[in-house]
Structure 1
Amino acid sequence: MGAFEWLVLIASIRGGNSNPRVRLWRQMNARGAAALGDGAYLLPDRAELRLQLENLREELIAAGGSAHVLRVREEAPERQAEWRALFDRSDAYARWTLAQTAWLAALPESESDARRGLRQLRKELEAIASTDYFPGEPLARARQRCNDAERQLTRHYSPGEPLSADGGIERLDRAAYQGRVWATRARPWVDRVASAWLIQRFIDPAARFLWLTDIRDCPSGALGFDFDGAAFTHVGERVTYETLLASFGLEQDGGLLGLGAMVHALDVGGVIVPEAAGFEAVLGGARQRLADDDQLLAEISQVLDSLYTHFTPTSARLAISGVES
């Protein structure tokens, strides 16, 4: 084991004012620092942490205290192992696992609530990971548990949700897909409703939709989407909406890509964009109000129209409107 460099903050706060002392403790705790003693904290030497400690040192001096940031090069393997052990996050991962297990055992009736719960668990996991400076198997296992939970939610709330297919995506000619009947599972959720909107707005304006209660009833002449064996479904990491983008050469449209990121995150997980929670709430409410899936698509299409404009870069909107040539 080679030499390893560490940062040590040594701070002294004079007087009886406890506020700076409490603020220091909170800030170091948030960074996951190890306490070596009263006013002495240890962190691995990383550029971003060094900058944060230097800023904190200036704040402490301005408050009338004293502070020093030291860089320590430790070569002894036994001392390195001792200091690394101070950053063991196994207990935090264990507590997170218990919380996730309890959550899975009592899933709510609402899929929206369940997905929000899983996003919160992911957020809490990444908060632990942000101070896990020597990550290993516990983090990998926890992230795998999140992925497994995502699949469990899909199977629980959407039993017909497609499994991802392998292989590439063939580029198709939109002209050959006009005036067609498109079929998917009834009571569309995020990926299905967004895919239907994409088909109607950008691929086949004269599209007609069948909402199947049983995918085995899909007519032979219909183009199926978002179910196992459908013409358009999940491929690799892509959800059905993203597969349609790639199939019909729509991946250069910034607005459609922005929507795609939102759809992907809501459907299979990932980085959640700020607009996702609002869209999910609107779709959930519309599904409760509207029993007819054609009406549901019509209403949500207006929401997606607005989101598409929102996600479209300003320069592209100006060009479309004719302000730019």
Structure 2
Amino acid sequence: MTSWLILTATLPTSPSGLRVKVWRALRATGAGALREGVYVLPEHAPSASALSALERTIVDAGAVAHLLVVQARDDAQEQAFRSLFDRAELYAEFLQTAKEARTRLRSATEATLRKTLRGLQTQLHAIQAIDFFPGRASDKAVDAMVALRREIELHLAPDEPSATAAAIARCEVADFQGRTWATRQRPWVDRLATAWLIQRFIDKSPTFIWLADARKCPKSALGYDFDGATFTHVGERVTFEVVAETFGLLGDPALQRLAALVHCIDIGGMPVDEAPGLEMLIRGLQARHADDHALLAAALSVFDACYAALETPSDP
């Protein structure tokens, strides 16, 4: 059975500041209310430590609070506790929002569609953060998010690659020097980041060409990020991740973090704090540079800066 945290709190009616603070903190943890002043949270919840901190906050404020660890006395009580964490209604609201977004897909601008995707991704992750017993409703929401993102990306870029199920074979950097690398023109974050990765970590003297039609990729070139390319999406991994894995580069923690950042912007997934800022910069570079070589030259400095920042330990 699940281990449960039970927080009991007796708060003064005035001043109201402490009550408001406690209410907001409880809402953030996703705790359920058994009755006024008695709250429950599964011990495995990521926010469990916040409930312990809240107990100390209440006591330090001169009020009364106790945090207990208990188990349900039987299956019926276990299910009663779990029912407090049924997020089906929240997922239904998310699905309705996603459905409405789909109806506006053809008429919305690219900026609006990408903003919609970010908003839906944030909404979904907020629900998942307090869904301690995920089930079918969660799966349906995730599937809907993936489908909508794919539909929008295909609308904005009909030549966006489909993921393959191929195994990622290891290659040696020494065998990939002085090569020509080809990808689709007007590169977005995955293609730009991959070009940066190639130039900084793989091929010391690469040549890049930008294809108006990926089907006409020269046979002598190494294609990336299009269907049939040498390097492209594999499973849930975007091309940057695939290339980094291919050349054994993901042992670098900064590259791991950059890979997560590129993944988040390109196809969604777990939110990354820096993603909106980098996305804005790349969009600005696209607006400023009509020539793809100039766009890459500008993007190299951006990714250099990102890598340096991710390489540098944050201040405690």
5 Å matches for 1:60-75?
Answer: 60-75=58-73
CA distance in 2, matches of 1:101, 1:68: 44
1:43 maps to amino acid: L
Deviations 1:114-136 (A, max 9, x none): 34432332232222223223322
SS of the residue corresponding to residue 220 of structure 2 reads: coil
* Paired position in structure 1 for 2:223: 224
1:188 is displaced (CA, Å) by: 0.5
- Report the CA distance shift for 1:222/1:38 in structure 2 as closer, same or farther (over 3 A): closer
Q: Which moved more, 1:40-49 or 1:175-184?
A: 40-49
Identity fraction in percent: 42
CA distance in 1, matches of 2:240, 2:194: 5
User: Normalization by structure 2: what TM-score?
Assistant: 0.85
Q: Which moved more, 1:173-182 or 1:286-295?
A: 173-182
Q: Number of residue pairs matched?
A: 311
* Paired position in structure 1 for 2:310: 311
CA distance in 2, matches of 1:202, 1:71: 51
* Paired position in structure 1 for 2:116: 117
1:293 is displaced (CA, Å) by: 0.8
CA distance in 2, matches of 1:263, 1:241: 7
- Report the CA distance shift for 1:61/1:246 in structure 2 as closer, same or farther (over 3 A): closer
* Matching of residue 264 in structure 1 with residue 263 in structure 2: yes
CA distance in 2, matches of 1:258, 1:293: 26
Deviations 1:232-288 (A, max 9, x none): 212233322222223334334444433322222222223343333222111111211
* Matching of residue 241 in structure 1 with residue 240 in structure 2: yes
* Paired position in structure 2 for 1:280: 279
- Report the CA distance shift for 1:33/1:201 in structure 2 as closer, same or farther (over 3 A): closer
CA distance in 2, matches of 1:213, 1:228: 14
SS of the residue corresponding to residue 41 of structure 2 reads: strand
Unaligned runs of 5+ in 2: none
Structure possessing the higher radius of gyration over alpha carbons:
1
5 Å matches for 1:100-115?
Answer: 100-107=98-105, 108-110=108-110, 113-115=112-114
* Paired position in structure 2 for 1:300: 299
Instruction: Give RMSD over aligned pairs.
Output: 2.8
Deviations 1:26-55 (A, max 9, x none): 332333333333323333455876654444
1:296 is displaced (CA, Å) by: 0.9
1:93 maps to amino acid: Y
* Paired position in structure 2 for 1:323: none
* Paired position in structure 1 for 2:184: 185
Q: Is the 8 A contact 1:254 1:313 kept in 2?
A: no
- Report the CA distance shift for 1:222/1:56 in structure 2 as closer, same or farther (over 3 A): closer
